[in-house]
């Protein structure tokens, strides 16, 4: 088991890791749309979805994987009315069309609009 850590994605805001590699499978923690340099989140679902996708990509890259090797994602939206806009951004990054669950939740950390976690092969 190997812990994944990168400065190219936001650090954990709680007692968890950015990701793990176990038996050649990468598991990322849910990535909220926080810029790892500024610590700030952009406004709006489109910009937030972009940042969450970039954060997932950074963790996968640090593990030696990539978005093209993702086979399962779980996506959390603060408002299901953002589903179409979120999908437009998501489709640009997850071109292999991994299996996915996408649910609306009552709230996300820091009042953000989306969060994405992924499972990928190395």
User: Residues with catalytic annotation?
Assistant: 102
Q: List CB contacts of 15: < 8 A, sequence separation 6 or more.
A: none
The token pair that represents 97 in the structure block: 């069309």
Rounded CA-CA distance 19/40 in Å is: 21
> Reading across the β-sheet that carries 19-22, which strands appear in turn?
2-4, 19-22, 25-28, 114-121, 70-77, 99-104
The token pair that represents 36 in the structure block: 């790892």
Longest dimension (CA), the chain: 38
């Amino acid at each position: 088991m190997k812990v994944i850590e990168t400065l190219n994605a936001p650090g954990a805001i709680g007692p968890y890791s950015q990701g793990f590699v176990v038996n050649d499978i990468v598991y990322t923690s849910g990535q909220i749309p926080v810029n790892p340099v500024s610590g700030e989140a952009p406004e709006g679902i489109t910009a937030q979805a972009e940042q969450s996708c970039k954060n997932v990509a950074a963790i996968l890259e640090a593990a030696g994987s990539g978005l093209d090797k993702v086979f399962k994602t779980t996506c959390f939206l603060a408002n299901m009315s953002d589903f179409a806009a979120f999908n437009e951004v998501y489709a640009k990054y997850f071109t292999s069309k991994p299996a996915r669950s996408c649910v609306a939740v009552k709230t996300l950390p820091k009042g953000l609009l989306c969060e994405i976690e992924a499972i990928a092969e190395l």
